[in-house]
Amino acid sequence: MKIDAPALSVADIGVAMGEGAALAMEMSDVTLMDSKLDKLLFSIKIGTKVIMTVQENIAFSVAAKLVVIALTFGGKMTLLGAIASDVGVMLLVSINGMKLLPGGPRLCCGKRWQYVQVLDQHKSSAGELV
């Protein structure tokens, strides 16, 4: 019997594969439920996209707030304008975050997730069998 949990706890990044021991799955940073390493690469890619999207949203929100503050000190911003700009920024940030969802809005890019295309192919082939 292998005891992987101590090694996973001191590793920089621990990956448990399959339905291993509960302790090994608990100590790992990432647990893959099957033996396909492609899913690990997918997790890294989606994690990178999430970090980039969060950074975009924070930068856009801070820039919008700075513009509102500058206009307020300049006497050009009203309370209604500040509220409207805040709601508008919130909507734009939410739409930008939704680009990470499969089948989400594709305002900036026409790509669809690979597994969504596979599901579409599966549905069409299942319809042919009936």
Take residue 94 and report the two structure tokens written for it. Answer: 């939410």
Instruction: Report percent pLDDT > 90 for the chain.
Output: 39
User: Do 9 and 49 have their domain in common?
Assistant: no
Please say whether the beta carbons of 57 and 69 come within 8 A.
Answer: no
The residue among 68 and 9 whose pLDDT is bigger is 68
Helix locations, the chain, DSSP H:
5-10, 22-27, 38-73, 79-97, 114-129
Say if 58 falls within a structural domain.
yes
pLDDT at position 31 is 73
pTM of the entire predicted model: 0.63
pLDDT digits (tens, 9 = 90+) for 53-84: 999 999 999 999 999 999 999 999 999 999 99
Radius of gyration of the chain (CA): 23
Question: DSSP label at 16?
Answer: E
Per-residue pLDDT band for 126 (boundaries 50, 70, 90) equals: very low
Take residue 23 and report the two structure tokens written for it. Answer: 């302790």
User: Do 105 and 51 have their domain in common?
Assistant: yes
User: Do 44 and 29 have their domain in common?
Assistant: no
The SS3 call for residue 98 is: helix
Unique residue bearing structure tokens 């509220």? 83
User: Do 63 and 96 have their domain in common?
Assistant: yes
User: Do 19 and 42 have their domain in common?
Assistant: no
pLDDT at position 5 is 64
